[in-house]
């Protein structure tokens, strides 16, 4: 039942957004910031409704670590489809996502993704992957924040999948800060939800201190990137799991 509700709302919202998408597409050519802001507010409303219907109690920590008025690359672990809803509604600004290329084939949903500034990454095509990274860097330079899940796939284990560091180049090229974030228990809302679960479920998202890659020489920068999984794991240890 929980899965049905989640996907029904997603399906319904996609239909509502579709006509509006063409307006946003036209607006983006004149005023990209206004288009991103309108898309963000519309989608945030649907996500808020879905989180309430799924009985998600979201605990947010470390929001004060997010610098104001500058674009950021948010980098975190990936446990559930609901990571997207949680990050979108707690970061507090328009954000796009680096999504797998297969999502381009999803009917209707891909329109919403384009509207909020998502990019599609083909991990098997190195050349295309580099183009996507460059596009992401340009969006960040334009002031549009991005979210990256370096694991590439959802993991429900206590340990992370290997973090792929190629996406960090968006921060290198744009000069923006990286904000590490940790999510916990988001998979209890859908993928691991027990049958008949009715009570409210607390999920956690925590934002760490910003990392400014260009403050470090290249060798030290790579070493700093290696620390990101440990930083995220350290935050998760403080969550009630």
Kindly report, residue by residue over 104-120, the tens digit of the pLDDT.
Answer: 777 667 877 888 999 99
Question: Do residues 112 and 21 touch, judged by C-beta distance below 8 A?
Answer: yes
Share of the chain above pLDDT 70, in %: 90
Token code pair at residue 227: 């620390």
Boundaries of domain holding 93: 2-236
Question: Do residues 143 and 37 touch, judged by C-beta distance below 8 A?
Answer: no
**Per-residue pLDDT for 101 more than 60?**
yes
pTM: 0.91
Contacts of residue 187, Cβ cutoff 8 Å, sequence gap at least 6: 79, 80, 82, 154, 156
What is the pLDDT, as a whole number, of residue 151?
94
In a domain, 215, yes or no: yes
CATH number at residue 118: 3.40.1130.10
In a domain, 241, yes or no: no
> Considering Cα of 17, then 18, then 19, then 25, what sign does the dihedral take?
positive
In a domain, 217, yes or no: yes
Separation between Cα atoms, residue 188 and residue 219, nearest integer Å? 39
Closest CA to 75 of 178, 173, 174, 2: 178
In this structure, the dihedral spanned by the alpha carbons of residues 161, 167, 168 and 171, taken in order and rounded to 10 degrees, is -150
How confident is the model over 174-225, as pLDDT tens digits? 999 999 999 999 998 877 776 655 678 899 999 999 999 999 998 899 999 9
The DSSP 8-state label assigned to residue 161 in this structure reads: P
How confident is the model over 70-100, as pLDDT tens digits? 999 999 999 998 999 999 999 999 999 999 8
In a domain, 58, yes or no: yes
How many domains are there within the chain? 1
How confident is the model over 15-51, as pLDDT tens digits? 666 777 788 889 988 999 999 999 999 889 888 988 9
Return left, alpha or beta for 31; rule: phi > 0 is left, psi -120 to 50 is alpha, else beta.
Answer: beta
What residues are paired with 202 via a beta bridge?
57
Separation between Cα atoms, residue 6 and residue 241, nearest integer Å? 23
Question: Do residues 70 and 177 touch, judged by C-beta distance below 8 A?
Answer: yes
Order across the sheet with 178-184: list the strands. Answer: 56-61, 201-207, 178-184, 73-76, 145-148, 95-100, 119-121
């Amino acid at each position: 039942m929980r899965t049905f509700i989640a996907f029904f709302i997603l399906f319904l919202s996609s239909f509502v957004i579709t006509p509006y998408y063409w307006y946003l597409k036209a607006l983006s050519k004149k005023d990209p910031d206004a288009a991103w802001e309108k898309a963000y507010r519309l989608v945030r409303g649907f996500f808020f409704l879905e989180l309430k219907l799924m009985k998600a109690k979201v605990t947010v920590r470390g929001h004060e670590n997010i610098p104001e008025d500058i674009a950021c690359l948010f980098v975190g672990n990936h446990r559930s489809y609901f990571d997207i809803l949680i990050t979108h509604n707690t970061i507090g600004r328009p954000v796009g996502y680096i999504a797998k290329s297969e999502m381009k084939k999803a009917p209707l949903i891909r329109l919403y993704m384009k509207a909020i500034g998502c990019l599609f990454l083909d991990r098997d095509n190195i050349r295309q992957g580099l183009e996507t990274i460059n596009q992401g860097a340009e969006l960040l330079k334009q002031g549009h924040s991005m979210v990256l899940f370096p694991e590439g796939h959802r993991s429900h284990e206590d340990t992370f999948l290997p973090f792929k560091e190629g996406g960090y180049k968006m921060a290198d090229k744009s000069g923006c800060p990286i904000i590490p974030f940790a999510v916990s228990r988001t998979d209890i809302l859908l993928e691991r939800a027990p049958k008949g679960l009715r009570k409210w479920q607390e999920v956690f998202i925590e934002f760490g201190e910003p990392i400014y890659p260009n403050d470090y020489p290249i060798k030290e920068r790579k070493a700093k990137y290696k620390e990101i999984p440990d930083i995220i794991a350290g935050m998760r240890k403080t969550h009630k799991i």
